[in-house]
Structure 1
Amino acid sequence: MADWQRYGELSKQRLDRAILTFFQHLRKSYVGDQAMHSSKLYARLSELLGLHDHLLLLDFFVRKIATNLKCYTVSEEVIDHTLSLFLELASGYVTGKLLLKLDTIKFIVAHHNREHFPFLEEYSCSKSRTTFYYTIGWLIFMDDSPVLFKSSMAPLQKVFITLESTPDAMFRTDTVKYALIGLMRDLRGIAMATNSRRTYGFLFDWIYPAHMPIVLRGISHWADKPEVTTPLLKFMAEFVLNKAQRVTFDTSSPNGILLFREVSKLLVAYGSRILSLSKATDIYAFKYKGIWISLTILSRALSGNYVNFGVFELYGDRSLADVLDIALKMALSIPLADILAYRKLTRAYFAFLEVIFNSHIVFVLNLHTSAFMHIVSSLESGLKGLDVGISSQCASAIDNLAAFYFLNITMGEAPTSPAAINLASHIAECPSLLPEILKTLFEIVLFEDCGNQWNLSRPMLSLILISEQMYSGLKAHILASQPVDQHQRLALCFDKLMTDVVRSLDSKNRDKFTQNLTIFRHDFRVK
């Protein structure tokens, strides 16, 4: 039997996975950051195998990793296990530096293509590509050299050039499809590895503006194929994420604004197409997944702190308005029951609402009343959920809405700005909206074991200050639900809740209310 055929056998795969597991445990004790370099193990390894120090042992590991990646083409389990060990070695500070000295690593960094690593051509292993390129990126950026980065990107550069030279008439072929899927998974891995302003700059300057059009072209031609759009959108979600303040440009640079414009073009192109397509049998895979990744992209771009959004309105640029509009249309196209049923969709939806209520509330207030009511009602549903993180995001969004109402309508003689007038109109059409939310907040604090009382206290004060009448009505409702012999004691609890709390939303007053609420909750629950 030929050697290469043995790699298709289960027995060989089990043996290699056992070897990888052994290597992982051996590495933790004898190689790298926490290694015991003077161990007797090296004396014995020197006698048996000639491996007299941890650099030689590391090279032994790496040659096995390279062999696995070269010889296994369809065994996803072995490839993933091999890549897991590779990433462990690369991400250690000491082992990562040592790896760069090895010829095998220099070869992998320079020749990461399907000719040398056939698994890259297998669609069934395409998810493994992200981990592979994350590891390669980690090694490249450890050297912090723009020259090394540029030369290392040569295999991906070839793919870009091939796709860019493909005419539109040929862009819906399987060849293009699999090339796009692979490229986007590879780029996501490289983007994940950028963890500083400098290394992110290498990637940004390489992709923008030269190669960005292929991303837009890909989404435009393949919007109806989730197997293409998912890796493409996930790459973009990683590319716009400002982790470790890596997306930071010079004060005179327009790059933050230019990046947001690319986000806008991409999401408008995807959203306008996905909303026009008919329903599929698997609605989550076909539509919902792409929408939650899109909302994540926009949330990250809006909260990344690298864009001055005032620029768009100042210069009549529709990028911000158009992308907010399409994002809301995508979110509103999904029934609330479905949003709450799919965990990843739930998280993306409420994270998006928190961001727009925090930074772009005027856009929300300018919506049609029915859309506004639907969104605010969904925030109340999020408050009632079991997820503390989502409940806190909803509380933050409600607090921003209630604070806007208090400052612009309650405390103002009459609403003057168009946004304030719109809000007053929305609430006039549904006067029970805010009282119902305040009632929900009180019920959660009083009758449930909430782990985020501080977060919930913020919108409670904002809502109480909006209207004394609303607060009085709520007190009467809660008291009526309790035994008659407890009314006097509980009424006193309510009075204490507002002790030394004034009509203001400054931080000192908010903190006083939060302190009072803790005492109020304790006293109210005492039997």
Structure 2
Amino acid sequence: MESLAQLEVLCERLYNSQDSAERTHAENTLKCFSTNIDYISQCQYILDNALTPYALMLASSSLLKQVTEHSLSLQLRLDIRNYLINYLANRGPELQPFVIGSLVQLLCRLTKFGWFDDDRFRDVAKESINFLNQATSDHYAIGLKILNQLVCEMNQPNPGLPSSHHRRVACSFRDQCLFQIFQISLTSLHQLKNDAISRLQELALSLSLKCLSFDFVGTSIDESSEEFGTVQIPSSWKPVLEDFSTLQIFFDYYALTKPPISKESLECLVRLASVRRSLFTNDVTRSKFLDHLMSGTKEILRTGQGLADHDNYHEFCRLLGRFRVNYQLSELVTMEGYGDWIRLVAEFTSKSLLSWQWASSSVYYLLGLWSRLVSSVPYLKGDAPSLLDEYVPKITEGFITSRLDSAQAGLPDDISEHPLDNVDLLQDQLDCFPYLCRFQYENSSLFIINVMEPILQIYMERAQLQTGDKSELSIVEAKLAWIVHIIAAILKIKQSVGCSAESQEVIDAELSARVLRLVNAADSGLHSQRCGELSKQRLDRAILTFFQNFRKSYVGDQAMHSSKQLYARLSDLIGLNDHLLLLDFIVQKIARNLKCYTESEEVIDQTLSLFLELASGYMTGKLLLKLDTVKFIIAHHTREHFPFLEEYRCSRSRTTFYYTIGWLIFLEDSAALFKSSMDPLLQVFITLESTPDTMFRTDSVKYALIGLMRDLRGIAMATNRLVQMTMIDMLMGFATACINASLHCVSVAEPMVFSLTGFILLTCQFF
């Protein structure tokens, strides 16, 4: 470098230039500062003399990389550490925030990497207090930033540090410093409570949150996830957590501040609500802690303060949701303010359900709370009323009504996250909801039936028309899809409060009969021509989900002999009186889907998944072979009968289709059945063998070959030893020519390689 000024120009280009060539040139020129340890002294010179923040940033980031990637001498690391502390104390207030952040990260990285090398590295918390004790708010902020980054650094693994060493350092830091830092954060919060400088409040709150979010026991918490278990705070923290003021300061900050500070207050409360039960001295102190939590949340529910902000709203729902994880219903009902609290939570839940667009991702936590409460009712002792009988039915009805309202709103099909297409969110909500329905199952089922019947009647009437209003039909299908998803979720579990198993079966039959009637209506008349409509596809996916859950409860191998009441009632309602008839009904729906859907990969994949589930069950697989529909599929698996086989976009689904067919064929262990069933594939072989090599470059031949390879791979996955050699003989004589003719095309070669690999593995197993 000829001069510091030149370096500053290069740094400016490195961080600010819009020209990629300029940035690359600057990066290559300046790389020596981060890769060559001889340039460490030059970095210090830049920090002392440079005038631009970008040059300072280069020096700091280069030192960080040097410290992380190179084994520097102990004395050099101590010198850098001492230099940084003095530099931040003297020049810190005048630096740009991003430069301070980089220097603080460097200091904390040095501290972590040298934790066991010298006791002076462990004095960083004490030296941070010196910043807090200085008169200026800028120094106070730097002190809090150092502590924030230190906790963060100690909690996260580093690429340059073995995981075992990281854990040793983290545990030592937890035992020696973390509690002191948490106390500093609380003291700062109390001191700054009436301060007008919000950035200091935010830093203090952030420090509290980082302390409470520390990985205390080495469970490697996924910070990208909102889910975590019990917070394993050490016993030494007990006096502080049992102190009334600890919880109260976070409730106070929520009341006094605006987002994002108020959100961080709630995040701290979420962690505190998740503290392990065994931390408290006895049940009395734990009850006081719970009472304080309930009082604080009750006040927020009563006033609604801050809940107009979406982030606050979501975090508050998470806070309420933590009550289900760490506290039993028997504990809650004994609290003095339980009656008001549960009433306010019920009202809040009902309002959240009505705001389905705004609060859709937050409702999960509320439904989880209510599902946990109703699941605990059988274990509730004493005379204290739970009041769930009064509120749960309203929430159940509110949830169903809100889902239908979302359908009535007529959301556009191209919406990025349609409620019925967001599988994860749908699963989260519907996993909790069945427990609420089964709490007072007779009333809930009657409500569902009363809601569904008029919609189903309209849908059946529209099937008789030649044409229909597409928008109206889309809304009707969306409503029916929601109802079917709800019924499917209910059938997934059998837990019920105050309802016998026999009564549950009868009610399950009542709900199932409505869905089975819907299946017939959806595949008849006008509706059978709507497979290209997204609303119809969503309805059919809901029906498939219903069949999957119904099968697990009432058709699977474990349920064959324990569902007499259900089939007796189904016989009265729709004439299906045993497993075989119901299986035939399901398989006919599977066949219709495979015939009618040619473009919806989602419907095809879910249909084939259901088909494979049925075939994989020992008893259900045997029963399937008795059905004419299954016999037809095994004998006529061609594109003429199942057009999806002709669609290239569905080519990956072919493997599942033929795996299922192969599974069914080999249940019989009959070579004759196998050979006759393979006739359609044999015809494809014959056609391809007679095709000139030059034609293998055409799309039609390529797609035929790709499809054949995927088909054979599916068969190979299900094959048994008796037919392994037959398949190998059938394939190998043909494979060489195909490979030679299509090596130019990766899309053809890939499925061929997969198939051949499968056959080779099978051959090795055989021998």
TM interval, short-chain normalised? 0.5 to 0.7
C-alpha distance in 2 between matches for 1:433 and 1:499 = 15
Pair 292,500 (structure 1): closer, same or farther in 2 beyond 3 Å = closer
1:109 maps to 81
The 3 A distance-change label for structure 1 pair 96 and 161 is closer
Distance 1:448 1:264, change over 3 A: farther
CA deviation profile, 1:215-269 (whole Å, cap 9, x unmatched) = 3332222112233221111011111214484489xxxxx9613336535656435
Query: What amino acid is the match of 1:185?
Result: K
2:177 is matched by which residue type in structure 1? I
Is 2:254 aligned against 1:299?
no
Aligned residue for 2:387, secondary structure, equals helix
Query: Which residue in 1 is equivalent to 2:583?
Result: none
Distance 1:481 1:458 in 2: 25
CA contact (8 A) 2:60 2:103 kept: yes
1:301-450 correspondence to structure 2 within 5 Å: 301-303=272-274, 307-309=276-278, 311-314=280-283, 316=285, 320-321=289-290, 324-325=293-294, 327-328=296-297, 331-332=300-301, 335=304, 338-343=306-311, 345-360=312-327, 362=329, 366=335, 367-379=337-349, 391=360, 394-408=363-377, 416-417=381-382, 421-424=385-388, 427-428=389-390, 432-440=394-402, 448-450=420-422
> Residue 141 of structure 1 contacts residue 193 of structure 1 at CA under 8 Å; is this kept in 2?
yes
CA–CA distance in structure 2, aligned partners of residues 330 and 495 of structure 1 = 33
- Which of 120, 140, 144 is residue 111 of structure 2 equivalent to? 140
Residue 177 of structure 2 aligns with which residue? 207
Q: 2:427 aligns with which of 437, 440, 454?
A: 454
Match of 1:469 in 2: 443
Deviation of the 1:175 alpha carbon: 1.0
For structure 1, the residue ranges without an aligned partner over 5 or more in a row are: 30-40, 167-173, 249-253, 278-285
Question: Residue type matched to 1:341 in 2?
Answer: D
Query: CA offset at residue 472 of structure 1?
Result: 1.9
**1:302/1:355 contact within 8 Å kept:** yes
Q: 1:258 aligns with which of 236, 258, 261?
A: 236
Larger Rg: 2
Cα distance between partner residues in 2 of 1:373 and 1:315: 25
Cα distance, 1:465 vs. partner?
0.8
CA 1:18 to 1:294, structure 2 compared with 1: closer, same or farther past 3 Å? same
State the Cα distance separating 1:193 from its structure 2 match. 0.8
Counterparts in 2 of 1:450 and 1:215: CA distance versus 1, 3 Å: closer
Q: Indicate how the Cα distance of structure 1 residues 369 and 206 shifts in structure 2: closer, same or farther if over 3 A, else same.
A: same
Cα offset, 1:295, TM superposition = 1.8
Retained in 2: the 8 A contact 1:13–1:78? yes
Q: Measure the CA separation in 1 of the matches of 2:255 and 2:485.
A: 52
Contact between 1:439 and 1:474, CA under 8 Å: does it hold in 2? Answer: no
Per-residue deviation, residues 3-49 of structure 1 (Å, max 9, x unmatched): 99x7xxxx985542325689xx99x99xxxxxxxxxxx9xxx9xxx9
The residue type equivalent to 2:150 in the other structure is I
Pairwise CA distance, 1:475: 3.0
Whether the aligned pair in 2 keeps the contact of 1:395 and 1:456 (CA below 8 Å) is yes
> Aligned-pair distance for 1:382?
5.5
Contact kept, 8 Å, 1:181 with 1:231, in 2: the verdict is yes
Give the 3 Å change call, closer, same or farther, for CA 455–200 of structure 1 in structure 2.
same
- Quote the residue 2:608 is aligned against: none
Q: Deviations over 1:395-424 (max 9, x none)?
A: 24413422432441xx57xx63466x2333
Q: Map 1:68-107 onto structure 2 (within 5 A).
A: 68-71=46-49, 83=60, 87=64, 89=65, 96-98=68-70, 100-101=72-73, 105-107=77-79
Using the size of structure 2 for normalisation, the TM-score is 0.48
**Aligned amino acid, residue 457 of structure 1:** L
Distance 1:182 1:385 in 2: 43
Deviation of 1:56 (Å): 8.4
Separation (CA, whole Å) in 2 of partners of 1:79 and 1:203: 30
Asked whether 1:17 is paired with 2:12, we answer yes
Query: What TM-score, normalized by structure 1, do the two folds share?
Result: 0.66
Question: Is 1:63–1:104's contact at 8 Å kept on the other side of the alignment?
Answer: no
Partner Cα separation in structure 1 for residue 332 and residue 171 of structure 2:
34
Q: What do the CA deviations read for 1:94-132 (whole angstroms, capped 9, x no partner)? A: x7241534976542223322446744233x745754543
* Partner Cα distance (2:490, 2:287) in 1: 48
> Quick one: distance in 2 between partners of 1:406 and 1:209?
37
Aligned to 1:251: none
Work out whether residues 273 and 322 of structure 2, in 8 Å CA contact, stay in contact via their aligned partners in 1: yes
In structure 1, what residue type is equivalent to 2:12? R
Structure 1 residue 393: Cα displacement:
5.6
Distance 2:241 2:342 in 1: 25
2:202 corresponding residue in structure 1: 230
Distance 1:434 1:221 in 2: 46
Amino acid at match of 1:357: R
Cα deviations by residue, 1:276-301 (Å, 9 ceiling, x for unpaired): 86xxxxxxxx3443332122123234
Aligned partners of 1:219 and 1:229 also within 8 Å: yes
Q: What is the letter of the counterpart of residue 450 of structure 2?
A: A
Aligned equivalent of 1:157 = 126
1:503 and 2:494 equivalent?
yes
Letter in 1 for 2:495: S
**Is this contact kept in 2: 1:59–1:102, CA < 8 A?**
no
Q: In 1, distance between residues paired with 2:363 and 2:350? A: 7
- Tell me which amino acid in the other structure corresponds to 1:201: C
Q: Deviations over 1:26-80 (max 9, x none)?
A: 9x99xxxxxxxxxxx9xxx9xxx9x9xx89843366555544544468x666656
Q: Is residue 218 of structure 1 aligned with residue 185 of structure 2?
A: no
Q: Which has the higher contact order (CA 8 A, sep 6+)?
A: 1
Distance in 2 between the 1:276 and 1:21 partners? 41
- How many angstroms apart in 2 are the aligned matches of 1:290 and 1:69? 33
Matched residues, percent identical? 9
Give the secondary-structure state (helix, strand or coil) at the position aligned to 1:503: coil
Q: Structure 1 CA distance, aligned partners of 2:246 and 2:266?
A: 9
CA 1:255/1:457 → structure 2, altered by over 3 Å: closer, same or farther?
Answer: closer
Structure 1 residues 500 and 203: alpha-carbon distance in aligned structure 2, compared to 1, 3 A threshold: closer
The amino acid across from 1:504 in the alignment is: Q
Contact 1:260–1:301 (CA under 8 A) maintained in structure 2: no
- 1:58 paired with 2:27, answer no
SS in 2 for 1:339: coil
Q: 1:187 to 1:310 in 2, by over 3 A?
A: closer
Q: Residues 176 and 18 of structure 1: is their aligned pair in 2 closer, same or farther, counting only changes over 3 Å?
A: closer
In 2: Cα distance, 1:118 partner to 1:364 partner: 54
Query: Counterparts of 1:523 and 1:443 in 2: how far apart (Å)?
Result: 23
